[in-house]
Amino acid sequence: MIGHQEVNLLTNYIAREGVAISFYLNTDGSERARSIWDIETKDLVKKARKELDGLNIGRKSVEAADESLRRIQQFVSMENPAARYKSLAIFANSVEHFYQIYWLPMPVKSNLVIDTNFYLRPLLAMLEEHYRIGVVLADSRHVRLFEVYMDEIIEHHDFALKAKPARKPLLETFMKREKRLMQRKEEQTRFHLGSVAELLKSMSANRHLDKIIIGARKPLGDHLARLLHARLRNNLIGVFEIDIHAKENEVLSKALAAERGFELDEERILLRKISVEVEKDGYAVKGIKKVVEATQEYNLQVLAVAEDFSQPGLVCTQCGMPHIEGAACVCCGGMLVQVSDVVYDLVEEAVRQGATVRHIRGENLIGSLENIAAIIKFKKGELVQLEETAETEI
Ligand SMILES: [Zn+2]
C-alpha cells in the first residue's frame, strides 16, 4: 500500500545522480491481454534506450538507467497480478538504489518518462480520487485498526497494543458485592470504547485518514460511532457487523462495500447537481468539447467522467493541455500531438489545476450528461456583465 510518507518521498524526489525513471503500464485485463503488456513494455523500453543515448549524462548514469529498464522489463514479464489491479507504476533510479513498485486499482495510460524527478501526474490523479480509510474493529474488550487505501489493506498492530486495558470498575472496594455483574460489564465496555474513540482521534491525524468505518456487533458499533470525536463522526461512512477476529480479506471486502455505498451516494448527489446547473445554463457544462474548453480556461471545479469513457484528441507537447481540435495549443502556442484517449490527460490536468475528479461507476445519469461533465467556477462574460451593471448604476 502506498503510504502518505511514500507519496511525499516520491513528490520531493530529485535525482542527484543518474536519472529518475517513471514507468506506467495499463494492465486492465478487461480489455487487454497479457501479451500486449509485454509488447508495450518492450516498445517503451526501446524508446527510452534511444532517448538515453541522446542525453548528455555520464556513462555510469546510462548504465544504471539501462539496469533499471532491464529490471522493469523483467518484472513485467514475470508478474501475475491480482485481477483487481488495473495498472502498474514503477519508479526507479539504479544509481541511488531507488526502486519502487505499485499496483494500482485504476487504469492509466502506459508511459515511460526519463527526467531528474519522477513523473507523478497519473499517480497523483489516482491518489486524489481515493479515500484513505481507517477501519476499526471492536468488541467489548478488543480493538483492531486497519487502513484501506486504493483497494488494499494493512493492519496497524500497534493500535491494539496502545488501547488501554479496561479500567477496574469504579468504587469496586466499596460496592463490590452490591454491584451486579451486568452493570460492571457495561461500565467496562463503555470505558473500553471511550478509550478506542480517544486513540482513534490521534491515530487518524497521524495516518492522514480521510474516512472512518466501524466493524462491530450490534449495538456496539453504533455506540462507538456516537463516542467518536466530532470530526471523525462527520467522516464516518459506514458501520457493519463483523467478528473481531475476522480475516484481513473479509475486512477488506466489507470495507470496500461500505466505501462503494458511500461513493454511490456521492455520485448521485453530484450528478443531480450538475444536471440542474446544466439545465438552467448555470455553473456546469456537459460533453467533452465544453469540458475541455473549461479546462483550458482553468475553470474546472469538479470533473465527473464515466469510468469507461474514452475519446481521441490532442495534447500540447509543452504544457500538457488537452485539446479536441486545433493546430497549436490555445494556452501556450505549443505543438499538439494526437493521443488515442485524451481523457487521461484531461483528468491529470484537472487534478493539477486543483479540481476534484470523480470517475462515475454506478450512476446512470452520466449517460444523459454525454459521459463527461463538470461543475465550473465561473460563467463566460459573468464578470464583465457585473462591471457593466455597476457602471450603469453610477
Ligand atoms: Zn500548451
Domain ranges in the chain with CATH number 3.30.960.10: 4-128
Closest to 291 (Cα-Cα) out of 308, 270, 274: 274
What top-level class would CATH report for the domain 4-128?
alpha beta
SS3 assignment, position 302? strand
- Whether the CB-CB separation of 375 and 145 falls below 8 Å is answered with no
Q: What are the pLDDT digits (tens) for 89-142?
A: 999 999 999 999 999 988 888 999 999 999 998 998 888 889 999 999 999 889
Q: What are the pLDDT digits (tens) for 200-209?
A: 998 888 888 9
Cα 333 to middle of ligand 1, angstroms: 6
Cα 339 to middle of ligand 1, angstroms: 15
What is each CA distance from 353 to 41, 121, 268, 291, 382, in whole angstroms?
30, 11, 24, 14, 21
Q: What is the dihedral of CA 224, 226, 230, 234, to 10 degrees?
A: 90
Domain ranges in the chain with CATH number 3.30.420.60: 133-246
303: buried, middle or exposed (CB in 10 Å: 19+, 13-18, 0-12)?
buried
Residue 131, CB-side half-sphere exposure with 13 Å CA sphere: 21
Could you say which architecture CATH assigns to the domain 270-383? 2-Layer Sandwich (3.30)
Cα 323 to middle of ligand 1, angstroms: 10
Q: What share of the chain is helix, strand, coil (3-state, %, to 5)?
A: 45, 20, 30
What top-level class would CATH report for the domain 133-246?
alpha beta
Cα 341 to middle of ligand 1, angstroms: 17
Domain ranges in the chain with CATH number 3.30.1330.30: 270-383
Cα 103 to middle of ligand 1, angstroms: 31
pLDDT tier at 380, thresholds 50, 70, 90: confident
Give the span between the Cα atoms of 215 and 245, in whole angstroms: 11
H-state helical runs in 315-363 = 342-352
Q: What are the pLDDT digits (tens) for 61-97?
A: 999 999 999 999 999 988 877 777 889 999 999 999 9
In this model, does residue 357 exceed pLDDT 70? yes
What does the mean pLDDT of the chain come to?
89
Give the span between the Cα atoms of 318 and 173, in whole angstroms: 77
